[in-house]
Every structure is written in C-alpha cells, then in structure tokens.
Amino acid sequence: MKSYGFTLIELVLALTVISILGLISYPSYNEHLLRTRRVYMTMALLDLASSLEIYYASNHTYDGATLEDLLSNRTQSKNHYCLELTTKDDLYTLKATPIGNQKKDLICQTLSLDQDGNKSASGNADIAKCWL
C-alpha cells in the first residue's frame, strides 16, 4: 500500500522557508507603504495649492481660506498626515506632519509647500526624493 502525503520533516522545511521569505519581505512592504502614503500626500498638497490659487484669484488674498473649504475627497492620506494651512495676505504655507505609523518615515518627515512653489522636507533626505 502506497502512502500519499507529507512527512513531518517536509512540512517543517516548507514552513521554515515561508517564514524566512516573510521576514525578508515584510520590511520592504512597510517601506513601500511609507513611500506610497508620502506620494499621496505630496499630490494632495499640490492639489490644495491649486485650490488656494483659485481662491486667491477670486478674493485677491489668501486670508480667510481654510482647509475645510479647500479639502477634497481626493486627500487619501489624511489618516497618515496632519495638514496645516497658514495664510497672511498674499502668502501661504501648507504643512503635512506625519502621524501614526507614518511617523516611521524618517527620510522626509514634515512636508511643506508655499505660494511660490517652494517645496521642503524636515527630514535628512534630498527634497527631490521626498517630492517625486
């Protein structure tokens, strides 16, 4: 009578290989999530800047503009960043500070954008890396 199935050694070996692959891929997956959320937030900041320019064209000032009025449903990373808008006459600064798991993004950290299109990041990475 021929037996079909796996031996205990084969099963343990297969589980060991799967565990090793999981340990190798998990940090890469987390890094990918951080980068993806950062890209979504940079797009949201640029979208907000566009909305602020429309507001300025209508009102000739940035004063009175609020995030609640400008935010759209396209801001997908709002659970990972805290947005802040500072306005004064014809100047504004948009700032996105990471919260929750996104705080692990030590490369770029806080992202900022002003009325002249100047982009910055408080982390230690090149700005071009943070603002793809």
Q: What is the pLDDT along the chain (132 residues), one digit of tens a residue?
A: 677 778 899 999 999 999 999 999 999 999 999 999 999 999 989 999 999 999 999 999 999 888 887 875 455 556 889 999 999 888 999 999 999 889 988 888 999 999 999 999 987 778 888 887
Residue 46 pLDDT: 92
68-105 as b/e: b if 16+ CB within 10 A: eebbeeebebbebbebebebeeeebbbbbebeeebeeb
Residue 130 pLDDT: 86
Question: What is this structure's pTM?
Answer: 0.75
DSSP 8-state symbol, 83:
E
Residue 105 pLDDT: 86
Strands of the sheet containing 119-121, edge to edge, are: 81-88, 91-98, 111-114, 119-121
Check if the beta carbon of residue 106 is closer than 8 Å to that of residue 123: yes
57 contacts: CB under 8 Å, gap ≥ 6 = none
Residue 123 pLDDT: 79
Check if the beta carbon of residue 81 is closer than 8 Å to that of residue 71: no
| Structure tokens given for 34 | 């951080």
